[in-house]
Amino acid sequence: MGKTLNICIVAREYPPETLWGGIGTFTYNLAQGLKNIGHNVDVLAFTFGDETSCDDNGVTVHRIQSPRVPFSNKTYWDYVHSMLSPFAFFYSCKVRNKIEEFHQQRKYDVIDLPDHIGEGFFTVRRNRFPTLVRLYTPLSLIGLLGLHKTTNSLDYYLFGLMERSSIKNSTIINSPSKALSGLVKKEFKIDRDIEIIYNPIDTVKFKPEEKTDLSKNGKIRVLYVGGLTDRKGAHILAQSIPKILEKNDSIEFTIIGNDAKGINGFNSMIDYMNDIFNRNGVQDKVILKDPIPYDELPKIYNNADISVVPSLYDNSPYTCLEAMSCGLPVVGTSAGGMPEYIDDGQNGLIIPPEDADALVAAVVRLAEDKDRLAEFGKSARDKSVREFKRETVAEKITELYLEAMEMHGPVY
């Protein structure tokens, strides 16, 4: 492989304590992939409890607390939903200090940082280390698109400055899709190259298994995994289900995810979904479940026949990768990076966002063609092993690290 690198990956999200979404899943897969090809990897992640350092299957994980508010027993995290920018500012400062502290023992060659809320702002600003900033979709950009509403406009502006500065001034910028790269270049006025490397997946954990008896007996199971938010298109899925069942009543649905704010006057998305299901008499065809442990996800995918990801925008959702790696065809939308992962008409189907009728047509089309279902599933698995295997992605990321080290020069 060549030189063994000492790599520090910064990401608030890291399982199991803070596996909130795609950032945590990506960080885990990248860290394990880098370790598997021979590198030394530290991860700096967030904690709600005491600060600790531990070994996670060969990766050293350092858990960092939120900075405390002066003259108070509160932390900045306690105010995160109403005042995110103070947390982002002081947490970024603490991240830089922790990198400096651990560097004394680890002698880091490169620092891998997220764009999200400018976690790497102070580290990039000091420019002591070669840095790679990974695009996940800057939170300020999600706010600009109207897809995130849990903070205020001043917050978006302030941590948006941190996100933009981190991206612009990092040694290397990396994106999981051309779509996200183009969006960030346009909105943040980035006039430099952004390297495209797709997200990694554990193709050993997420692999096809024998289907259960329900699928064998003529039932088709459709699976949705993700937050029950309008950004993820949960309301579009709910609107489509009665129409799908009108056309094919042998289909059953499993919906797994955290409940969230509802739409059209409903207190929660589950309330909105249940209202639609009950009014149309299809509640017995839908199973709603809370999120399940990460290790149990492969079984869930393998008990399904079709995965749906009807997001209004997603740069590269892990539900898409996990399903493909388990040999499921995916129905995804054209909004974001999914068309770069799903080959329309070969291993899944791409539909417009916010189009319930298109979702109906796609699901029914796959459900009524078992040969195509099997063909798409095999193609999805083959592409996952060929392009998204985490060791393969780790090799490509390593090339970027080496490039960043050459561009930056020695760590002083």
Average pLDDT over residues 275-298: 94
Average pLDDT over residues 91-108: 96
Average pLDDT over residues 279-293: 95
Q: Which residue has the tokens 């009524």?
A: 368
- pLDDT computed for residue 102 by the predictor: 97
Q: For the segment 342-376, what is each residue's pLDDT rounded down to a tens digit?
A: 999 999 999 999 999 999 999 999 999 999 999 99
Average pLDDT over residues 286-307: 94
pTM comes to 0.91
Convert 77-103 to b/e letters by CB count within 10 Å (16 or more is b): beebeebbbbbbbbbbebbbebbeebb
Nearest to 109 by CA among 194, 171, 46: 171
- pLDDT computed for residue 211 by the predictor: 65
Of 143-157, 178-192, 199-213, the least confident:
143-157
* Number of alpha carbons in the 13 Å side-chain half-sphere of residue 174: 24
| Residues facing 349 on adjacent strands | 331
User: How many angstroms separate the CA atoms of 99 and 309, rounded?
Assistant: 37
Amino acid at 324: M
User: Does position 66 have pLDDT exceeding 80, yes or no?
Assistant: yes
Q: Which residues does 357 contact at the CB level (< 8 Å), separation at least 6?
A: 240, 243
pLDDT grade, residue 289 (50/70/90)?
very high
pLDDT grade, residue 71 (50/70/90)?
confident
Reading the block at residue 172, the tokens are: 């290397």
User: Does position 152 have pLDDT exceeding 80, yes or no?
Assistant: no
Q: Which residues does 296 contact at the CB level (< 8 Å), separation at least 6?
A: none
Of 72-86, 126-140, 267-281, the least confident:
72-86
**Higher-confidence position of 388 and 294:** 388
- pLDDT computed for residue 156 by the predictor: 83
- pLDDT computed for residue 147 by the predictor: 64
User: How many angstroms separate the CA atoms of 186 and 135, rounded?
Assistant: 14
Q: For the segment 227-257, what is each residue's pLDDT rounded down to a tens digit?
A: 999 989 999 999 999 999 999 999 999 999 9
139 touches 149 (CB < 8 A): no
SS3 sequence, 299-318?
HHHHCCCEEEECCCCECCCH
pLDDT grade, residue 22 (50/70/90)?
confident
Strands 53-56 and 59-64: antiparallel
Q: What is the mean pLDDT of the chain?
A: 93
Average pLDDT over residues 214-219: 62
User: How many angstroms separate the CA atoms of 92 and 119, rounded?
Assistant: 5
- pLDDT computed for residue 127 by the predictor: 94
- pLDDT computed for residue 214 by the predictor: 46
φ/ψ of residue 411, rounded to 5: -75, 125
Q: Which residues does 225 contact at the CB level (< 8 Å), separation at least 6?
A: 256, 257, 297, 300, 307, 319, 322, 323
Strands 330-333 and 251-256: unpaired
Residue count of the chain: 412
Convert 205-216 to b/e letters by CB count within 10 Å (16 or more is b): bbbbeeeeeebe
User: Does position 217 have pLDDT exceeding 70, yes or no?
Assistant: no
First to last CA, the chain: 26
